[in-house]
Amino acid sequence: MSKAGHFRGFTLIELLIVMLIIGILSTTAILSYSPPPFKETREKLNVLLDQINTAQEKALLESLPLGLLFFQQKYIFLTIENRTWRKYMVFPEVEIDLQDASLVVDNISINLPDADLITEIFPQIVFSPGAEMTPFELILNLHDENSGSSTIFELKTDILGRGKLLQYQAQ
């Protein structure tokens, strides 16, 4: 307290300096935060699992053969019309970087085609109206430049369409 019994408050300069320091600290904290690596890829693979389950149900309930075709840049669902495979518009195309992926069907590794170079489309995975599908394994090995480590995503399905997504860290 001062001699007159009044509290001495902060000056405008002192308040501005404190606000500046808080601003610098919060900016540093925000810029140093980075989301978990490959979070978007994991979310897209989870969407794929959900779509596989839905495609399995649609094939069974509507007696409709469906297909799934993986490209290096995306994947699409297909249906058969007049003996020709066509895009199945119920499911949107999902863009995902699969250039470093390997697709294994019946213990055979399949090279993923470039979407721009394909003239005819045939599915790698088929959903039959009898509630069965082609079991497959999709393996993505992604390298994180910042940490120097690799993350491996492994999406596996069985003949009944039950799928699981596994994630491994490799140094």
Which of 77, 71, 86, 76 lies closest to 116 in space, CA to CA? 71
Sequence-distant (≥ 6) Cβ neighbours of residue 107 within 8 angstroms: none
* Burial class, 9, CB count within 10 angstroms (exposed 0-12 / middle 13-18 / buried 19+): exposed
Q: Is residue 163 part of a domain?
A: yes
Query: Domain span at residue 155?
Result: 39-170
pLDDT digits (tens, 9 = 90+) for 123-156: 999 999 988 999 999 999 888 777 778 889 999 9
Q: Is residue 8 part of a domain?
A: no
Q: Transcribe the chain into DSSP letters.
A: --TTSPPP---HHHHHHHHHHHHHHHHHHHHH--PPTTHHHHHHHHHHHHHHHHHHHHHHHTT--EEEEE-SSEEEEEEEETTEEEE-TTSPPEE---TTEEEEETTEEEPPPPGGG-SS---SEEE-TTS-B--EEEEEEEE-TTT--EEEEEEEE-TT--EEEEEEEE-
Please count the CA atoms within 13 angstroms of the CA of 138 that sit on its side-chain side: 30
Number of domains in the chain: 1
The letter for the amino acid at 11 is: T
Q: Is residue 64 part of a domain?
A: yes
Q: Is residue 138 part of a domain?
A: yes
Q: Is residue 103 part of a domain?
A: yes
Q: Is residue 148 part of a domain?
A: yes
Q: Specify whether the CB–CB gap between 125 and 112 falls below 8 A.
A: no
Tokens standing for residue 163: 């799928």
Q: Specify whether the CB–CB gap between 126 and 66 falls below 8 A.
A: yes
Q: Is residue 21 part of a domain?
A: no
The yes-or-no verdict on residue 1 having pLDDT over 70 is no
pLDDT digits (tens, 9 = 90+) for 71-95: 999 999 999 988 899 999 888 888 8
Return the CATH number at 148. 3.55.40.10
Structure confidence at residue 36 (pLDDT): 67
Q: Is residue 9 part of a domain?
A: no
The residue-averaged pLDDT of 107-112 equals 90
